[in-house]
Amino acid sequence: MIKQAIIPLAGLGTRLLPLTSVFAKELLPINGKPGIEYILDECVQAGIKEIIFIISDKKKMIKNYFYNDRFYKRIIKKKKDQRIIQEYNKIKKFRKMIKFVYQNKPLGTGDAVLKTKRYIKDNFFLMLLPDDLIINKNCSKSMINVHKKYKSSVIAGMNVKKKDVSRWGIFRLSKKINKNNYLIKDVIEKPSMKYAPSNKAVIGRYILPKKIFVRLSKLKPGKGGEIHITDAIQSLINQNEPFIAHNFFGKYLDCGSMNGYIKSNLEISKI
Ligand code: UTP
């Protein structure tokens, strides 16, 4: 069973400047609710019991969001507002599940994952990238079901426009397992259109094996000088570790870019 999830939150969020000059993008509201709470809801509904947040000193505001007890208690005592009481209880519930680790230099997603090494107990764990919201269907839950069946690593995959491949990790399929699940042959971080092996992109949901930490600790910086999780995945695939690409059913929303963030608000307000 997959019981632990990790969420990298230590990036700079430059695509959402100027908002991110003072604010953690994961706390920005999407239709009135912080983006990170959609991700936490997805985890809880998928049966996750422990969540590891990778934050940085610059993003301590995320931790403060979950630890503002004195303020809540004072306001609740004064106002006895049911909505505030409910929100506070929800935050306390989430808090029980969350551990914080630090990555003070944003050296890449792979480096962020490496920071969780000593907290991962089981052979597999879930990773969610909070910029990627998937609505209407719980993507983590369906990936956990795929993992249960095939006992292997799983990543969420989606077709993207050919002209956009250089924004994503792009993978090539090797073998069809069934209608929505395929074995991955290789994966490459942000390829140019010319070198992209396909238009199939890795979306921010991964079930990763604990053995990825060994690969990560040996990785050299890749594209853009960062340590990428996709490079560690490729290194495992080279050692015959099976990775399944799962075509998920939900609707993908990109909250990491300004246009995407605005669109996500509109989409979620329609639900
Ligand atoms: P991105 O590279 O997409 O986002 O990382 P970013 O770096 O925050 O934002 P931009 O590109 O400057 O706008 C994907 C996820 O990985 C986390 C980010 O916080 C984001 O949730 N991340 C990225 C880390 O935790 N550490 C890193 O070193 C890099």
pLDDT 10s digits, 81-105: 999 999 999 999 999 999 999 999 9
Ligand 1: nearest atom to the Cα of 106: 28
What predicted TM-score, i.e. pTM, was given to this entire model? 0.96
Q: How far is the CA of 118 from the centre of ligand 1 (A)?
A: 22
Six-digit token string for 136: 């209407």
Q: Give Cα 124 distance to the centre of its chain.
A: 15
Ranges of residues in the chain whose predicted pLDDT is under 70: none
Whole-number Å distance between alpha carbons of 195 and 88: 49
Q: How far is the CA of 16 from the centre of ligand 1 (A)?
A: 11
For ligand 1, atom 1: residue with the closest CA: 11
For ligand 1, atom 10: residue with the closest CA: 13
For ligand 1, atom 9: residue with the closest CA: 13
Q: How far is the CA of 12 from the centre of ligand 1 (A)?
A: 6
Q: How far is the CA of 142 from the centre of ligand 1 (A)?
A: 25
Residue 88 DSSP symbol: H
Domains in the chain, start-ordered, CATH in brackets?
Answer: 4-269 (3.90.550.10)
Q: How far is the CA of 154 from the centre of ligand 1 (A)?
A: 21
> Helices marked H in the chain — which ranges?
35-45, 60-66, 69-79, 82-97, 109-114, 139-150, 212-218, 229-238, 258-269
Is residue 56 lining ligand 1, measured as CB closer than 6 Å? no
Is residue 35 lining ligand 1, measured as CB closer than 6 Å? no
What is the predicted pLDDT for the residue at 49? 98
Ligand 1: nearest atom to the Cα of 59: 19
Q: In a 3-state reduction of DSSP, which class is residue 226?
A: coil
CA-nearest of 35, 15, 36 to 267 is: 35
pLDDT tens track for 172-188: 999 999 999 999 999 99
Instruction: Scan for tokens 């999407």, then name that residue.
Output: 30
What is the predicted pLDDT for the residue at 271? 82
Q: Give Cα 254 distance to the centre of its chain.
A: 12
For ligand 1, atom 22: residue with the closest CA: 11
Give every CB contact of residue 215 below 8 A, 6+ residues apart in sequence.
232, 235, 236
